[in-house]
Structure 1
Amino acid sequence: LMGRKISIVTAKPQTTRHRILAVHTAEKQQIIFVDTPGLHRKSGKAMNRLMNRTAASALADADLVLFVSDVTRWTEEDDDVLERLKAARSPVIALLNKVDKVHPKEKLLEGLAAVSSRFDFAEVVPISAMKNENLSHLMAMIPKFLPESPPLFPEDMYTDRNEEFHVAEIIREKLTLMLHQEMPYGLTVQIERLVREPRGIAISAVIWVERDSQKGIAIGKNGSVLKKVGRAARLDIAERLGQPVYLELFVKVKSNWADNEKDLMNLGYEAP
């Protein structure tokens, strides 16, 4: 929708951990998208509870809710979200993603009808975020559901997050893609240093894990995982910041950081 990458993306649940604003400014209109963590059925650790509160807070503040679901499968989590949306005072548009994977198209019509019957949606829109299908139609539809107001942000602003945040998220994305099972949920990334120098941008980042056993996994045999993560992250960061990047990665242990609210705040997580 933004024409550029704002939030990191992986196939693993709970990839988004923060409330992130994306600002779309076009002629005579400005739309503020709020990307939130998904709602989790199990409250789990302090981080999960914090993410649930973050998502619920964003829902209460929204003028319009875009409910994104995978058209190829309906989950219990989708039912849980719809239950919460019953209390929403704002209209809800259902976005059924991955329509490019549905064949024949008669199945898509069946899926649209099934989802429409579950909730009083203002609209049900089939899309493919990967293939950019129907997104322009969605963008044209959104303004009619929004109240008129003066622009809230400068025209050249496209997100509320700073460089350090996005760099940390890029590194976490690469770790999440390369590590398996539960490991990505026990790590976070903190930028210790980001300095623009004549030769390029020097960055030092710490990958925090919860246990000593996770440290070796994050580093890999002879540093193999860390090297792969560094290479992949460096390319994305350089493209985003427009300069060569010199990246140092360190792995450290902070016992059970994800279940300690004080640690979460110190690591950049925010209470809604």
Structure 2
Amino acid sequence: MTDLAPTESTDSPDAFRCGYIAIVGRPNVGKSTLMNALIGAKVSITSRKAQTTRHRITGIQTIDSTQYIYVDTPGFQTRHANALNKTLNRTVTNTLTASDVILFLVEAGTFGPADQQVLDLIPSSVPCVLVINKADRIKDKAVLLPFAQQIASKHDFAAVVPVSATLRFQLDNLQGEIKKHLPLNAPVFGVDDITDRSEKFLAAEIVREKVFRFVGDELPYTSTVVIEKFEQEGDLRRVFAAILVERDTHKSMVIGQKGARLKDISTQARLDMARLFGGPVYLEIWVKVKSGWADNEAGLRAYGYE
């Protein structure tokens, strides 16, 4: 986003830089893990399943005279053309055109049609850094250079940086490359801010992450989480959440035998919320059947999908 007014002259060594950095790539390439690693906090949920990220998630880090505003995007969807996936893809394309820098994330040693489809969306007018994730998994480093050269030949990249998001390898170098292309702007957020999302939103994301973790191999992707009530009294948060599924059989999957699986989801979600919010959390979760929710555009907007 480039409509922020500069506050200092371009020749000042102390001029503040601030801008939006879109993180894009095919599903399940590690975008959320990278953003969490860059800002040093977990604001975007992760799992080994594709389509975990469904919203435009902002992560903020302020270092000295630079504010990095990272935008984690859903993986671009090509398999199913339902309303949910169309909405996710629209989020990706809108984010690309509104960013100051783009990080195009690929997995070391792997580049396929899904990666190319995302690369084709990147506008040539926005500086783009090729980020090769999971570089630590390539034991023969002689393989990494030709792979990087192969991908670099497909686009006019501003830089190429191999990283490991999980090991935090080369993240300082990546931030250095990003900073070169950030505009001179006043900070948009406070120094201590790490996201622009509300605790209510984050609570829903945490519950959804646990659904993926405990039911991911069985439950189709047509499930979501709605926070029906969020209250705070002192340090205590009271959260009342509903997991929406398409069918009664899906509901049984989430609940599990004698409610054991739902109890696991609730316990782990509550612990994560308490860590993130810095206080105790009372959490109640229901599972509700809402047939066709993922293919209803009006319903998607009501559930917070952009």
| Structures share fold, TM-score greater than 0.5 | yes
Residue 216 of structure 2 is aligned to residue 180 of structure 1: yes
1:151 paired to 2:187:
yes
Alignment partner of 1:191 out of 218, 222, 227: 227
1:160 maps onto 2:160 in alignment: no
- Counterpart of 2:62 in structure 1: which amino acid? T
- Give the partner amino acid of 2:69: I
1:178-213 deviation per Cα after TM superposition (whole angstroms, max 9, x unaligned): 223462511101111222236832211100011122
Aligned residue for 2:221, secondary structure, equals: helix
How many angstroms apart in 2 are the aligned matches of 1:3 and 1:114? 31
Alignment of 1:96-107 (within 5 A): 96-107=132-143
In 1, Cα distance between equivalents of 2:219 and 2:137: 29
CA contact (8 A) 1:25 1:31 kept: yes
Identity score, percent: 42
Match of 1:41 among 71, 75, 78: 78
Flag structure 1 segments of 5+ consecutive residues without an equivalent: none
Q: 1:180 to 1:21 in 2, by over 3 A?
A: closer
Whether 2:48 is the aligned partner of 1:11: answer yes
In the alignment, the residues of structure 2 paired with residue 19 and residue 88 of structure 1 have an alpha-carbon distance, to the nearest angstrom, of 22
User: 2:200 & 2:220 partners in 1: Cα distance?
Assistant: 20
2: CA distance, partners of 1:199 / 1:150: 32
1:229 aligned residue:
265
Q: Is the 8 A contact 2:238 2:281 kept in 1?
A: yes
The answer to whether residue 100 in structure 2 is matched with residue 63 in structure 1 is yes
In 2, Cα distance between equivalents of 1:54 and 1:139: 24
User: Corresponding residue for 1:204?
Assistant: 240
Q: CA deviation at 1:159?
A: 1.1
Contact 1:72 1:101 survives alignment (8 Å): no
| Aligned CA-pair RMSD | 1.6
1:69-105: CA deviation from partner (whole Å, max 9, x where unpaired): 11132221101011112x3410110110011111122
Partner-residue secondary structure (3-state), 2:253: helix
Alpha-carbon distance in structure 2 between the residues aligned to 1:173 and 1:199? 24
The one of 251, 258, 261 equivalent to 2:297 is 261
Looking at structure 2, the residues matched to 182 and 124 of structure 1 have their Cα atoms a distance apart, in angstroms, of 38
Kept after mapping to 2: 8 A contact 1:68/1:97: yes
Distance 2:218 2:124 in 1: 33
Which secondary structure state, in structure 2, belongs to the residue aligned with residue 189 of structure 1?
strand
CA distances 1:102-122 after superposition (whole Å, capped 9, x unpaired):
112222223222222222211
Secondary structure (helix, strand or coil) at the match of 2:120 reads helix
Contact in 2 for aligned 1:200/1:244 (Cα 8 Å): yes
Where 1:207 maps in the other structure, the secondary structure is strand
Aligned residues of 2:218 and 2:253 also touching (Cα < 8 A) = no
- 2: CA distance, partners of 1:81 / 1:47: 18
Could you tell me how far apart the structure 2 residues matched to 1:62 and 1:202 are? 36
Following superposition, the deviation at residue 9 of structure 1 comes to: 0.9
Conserved in 1, the CA contact under 8 Å of 2:41 and 2:194? Answer: no
**Matching residue of 1:52:** 89
Q: Determine helix, strand or coil for the equivalent of 1:84.
A: coil
Report the TM-score when normalising by structure 1: 0.94
Greater shift after overlay, 47-56 or 30-39? 30-39
Q: May I ask how many residue pairs the two structures share in their alignment?
A: 269
Structure 2: runs of 5+ lacking an equivalent: 1-37
What residue identity is the alignment partner of 2:169?
E
- 1:139 offset after TM fit, Å? 1.0
CA shift for structure 1 position 154: 2.4
Match of 1:81 in 2: 118
Distance 2:226 2:93 in 1: 25
